[in-house]
Amino acid sequence: MRVEIWSDIACPWCYVGKARFEKALDAFPHRDEVEVVHRSFELDPGRAKGDIQPVITMLTKKYGMSEAQAQAGEENLGTQAAAEGLDYRTRDRDHGNTFDMHRLLHLAKARGRQDELIGLFYKANFAEERTVFGDDGRLVELAVAAGLDADEARAVLADPAAYADDVRADEREAAELGANGVPFFVLDRTYGVSGAQPAEVFAQALTQAWGERPGLTLIQDESAEVCGPDGCAVPQD
């Protein structure tokens, strides 16, 4: 079974939702038969790469809330994250464009290191002091920590076209599926789960999606030769 997760590194509920989903997945009896693929979704696609500002400032401007309201929201998110065992800096975080991180995540997917890299991106953005925005050196460090080649990561960052089409394709597909917010989880292209749901909801979705997978329809000519545990059929003249 395949689970696709549309998310953005700048999305705190994606950070929390990933932890809740993984809690459910770790307890799922068929865990080893579930493939997880991370898909790109930008919350702020129009923001220039060099346009970096404090999260609190972004929240007050985008949503028209006071600084006190924005800070209270961050404190609440910190509590939600802590409940999942996640570190979360409620003050002095930055907000910026995530397009380059999504491009690197597609490189990581091609190299089989996508889950490792997205986990490091989340931790760096939400729990660590050094910003991940506007700092290609920092992104390369995280890519290397995830198991990617430093020169290859630098080459992707230096080429604005590298994996850009893959990011845009993910975003178009999200729109086609009706996802207008993240996190958005799609199980076997049959069930969609929107938001950072409790682990119990994810567990129920996994069980239901697994149980409704189509069975194998066997088309077989009984006279056809086969090999089995006792050997191979030998044609008779």
| Each residue's pLDDT tens digit, 218-232 | 666 666 666 766 666
Phi/psi at 228 (nearest 5 deg)? -140, -170
Q: Are 192 and 177 in contact (CB under 8 A)?
A: yes
Q: Flag residues of the chain having pLDDT under 70.
A: 215-226, 228-237
- The reported pLDDT for the residue numbered 217 is 66
Chain-wide mean pLDDT for the chain? 93
**How many CA within 13 A on the CB side of residue 161?**
0
Query: Could you write out the three-class secondary structure of 150-183?
Result: HHHHHHHHHCCCCCHHHHHHHHHHHHHCCCCCCC
- The reported pLDDT for the residue numbered 10 is 97
- The reported pLDDT for the residue numbered 222 is 62
